[in-house]
Structure 1
Amino acid sequence: MTATSGSASAPALDGLAQDFVAFAVEAGVLRFGEFKTKAGRLSPYFFNAGLFDDGVKLGRLAHFYAQRLIASGLDFDMIFGPAYKGITLAAAVSIELARLGHNKPFAYNRKEAKDHGEGGTLVGAKVHGRVLIIDDVISAGTSVRESIAMIQAAGATPCGVSIALDRQEKAAENGQDLPWSAVQYVREQLQLPVIAIAGLADLLQYLGSTSSAAVAAHAAAVHAYRDRYGV
């Protein structure tokens, strides 16, 4: 992979993003209804990456991550997966990148330091060089900040964040909506490119083109949510 300017979230009308959204819906990972978010909002959709819970689904997910990363041109030396969901993602994406000819080592952290054996909180390859952080979503940026601190403490440089879905909605703090999203915060304040497989705009495009009347019926609610909380 050669270095280019950091690619951000997937653009609307993106074929890879549309395929990913369709896959997430079919797998039951992306669901519609009424769900309470961490910010206390009632969202008409919910994305639970923990439901990519078998070999076929995890393998397909890893392929989407790998395709987006390769297309982004982001130059990185290794992958870091923050506990807990990031651990599985880092391993799976590392395997898929190697299958596609881009062999990258990976590491992850423990929630609690180990006081025997090799000790410490980091597991896997030695954290070095330009490190890509991989996770499912960015909700508040807390996990990213913690990952940055661990990577820098190991003497390496965080160079980007890869996520599955960018909700493209305002972040919240102390019950108040902020004028930027968590992803925008990472890009602009932490100065890291964020590479998303798909975003809310892609979800809306899918809802407008799906042949499933039951799924399409949720389009109005998702549009209304974006109008209220979108960035």
Structure 2
Amino acid sequence: MALAEGNQEGKGAVAQEFVQFALDSGVLRFGQFKTKAGRMSPYFFNAGLFDDGAKLMRLAQFYADRLIQSGVEFDMVFGPAYKGIPLAATLAAELARRGRNVPFAYNRKEAKDHGEGGTLVGAPLSGRVLIVDDVMSAGTAVRESIAAIRAAGATPHAVVIALDRQEKATEDGRDVDHSAVQYVREQLGMEVAAIATLDDLLQYLNSRSDDALQEHRQAVLAYRARYGAG
């Protein structure tokens, strides 16, 4: 489902506020960071540093705001292990606070051989399932989630993430022309909504006069010129 054109202005405001929130929380940092693909990135987004109740509550509000703007329809929420687990739980709680109570589930990486057993925890997977995660680099967690959802007889319908890095994915150690987000959208036919994108981060940096931030902006622009997609 494509975004409604009239929602773009509101999306931009939420994205800029989210970038500021991520910076204030120490989740978004500038410097030199090695990515999973072996690239040296001038910025790093570590959602594990949304590490207290207040930050998680605010993060869930951003996810809920973005979902409302996107118009994505879904029947339940799924969080892939491990970072997706608290994201799914807090998003479900925030949606319930707003009057929409939806079930949620998550998976374990190791199957449990006692009690209820298996790898799935929470509500039974059914209907149109929304996958919630922090970022999508190679798309591995999303693909594993899609397989689990389909195996349970439900429909993997959409994905919501915090940040779309808009950079080329890697396959077999080589850069490809598409990003993981583009692959999920174009090859798997699923909508992906992101609270913010690399474009939003660059817009934020462009709006600041601080010399240090302008240096970071130039580094991010150079990185995007080399690895950008989307």
Q: Normalising by structure 2, report the TM-score.
A: 0.94
Secondary structure of 1:126's counterpart equals: coil
Structure 1 residues without counterparts, runs of 5 or longer: none
- The equivalent residue for 1:135 is 133
Q: What aligned pairs does 1:70-149 form with structure 2 within 5 A after superposition?
A: 70-149=68-147
Q: State whether structure 2 residue 42 is matched by structure 1 residue 44.
A: yes
The runs of at least 4 consecutive aligned structure 1 residues that moved more than 6 Å come to none
- Do the aligned residues in 2 keep the contact of 1:69 with 1:195 (CA within 8 Å)? yes
Distance 1:129 1:173 in 2: 31
Distance 2:53 2:83 in 1: 15
Distance 1:229 1:120 in 2: 39
- Do the aligned residues in 2 keep the contact of 1:7 with 1:194 (CA within 8 Å)? no
Select 2:217's aligned residue among 175, 199, 219.
Answer: 219
Q: What aligned pairs does 1:1-231 form with structure 2 within 5 A after superposition?
A: 5-7=1-3, 14-210=12-208, 212-231=210-229
Amino acid at match of 1:40: G
Distance 2:226 2:194 in 1: 22
Q: What displacement does 1:11 show?
A: 5.7
Distance 2:217 2:73 in 1: 37
Distance 2:209 2:105 in 1: 41
Secondary structure of 2:177's counterpart equals: strand
Distance 2:8 2:165 in 1: 13
Secondary structure of 1:35's counterpart equals: strand
* Count of residues in correspondence between the two structures: 226
Q: Kindly provide the CA deviation profile for residues 86-107 of structure 1, in whole angstroms up to 9, marking residues without a partner as x.
A: 0000001001111112211100
Distance 1:108 1:30 in 2: 26
Structure with more contact order per residue of length (Cα contacts < 8 Å, sep ≥ 6): 1
Distance 1:168 1:137 in 2: 10
Closer, same or farther: CA 157–84 of 1 in aligned 2, 3 Å: same
Distance 1:163 1:36 in 2: 21
Structure 2 residues without counterparts, runs of 5 or longer: none
Q: What displacement does 1:75 show?
A: 1.0
Q: What displacement does 1:190 show?
A: 1.1
Q: What displacement does 1:175 show?
A: 3.0
Distance 1:6 1:103 in 2: 24
Distance 1:33 1:105 in 2: 39
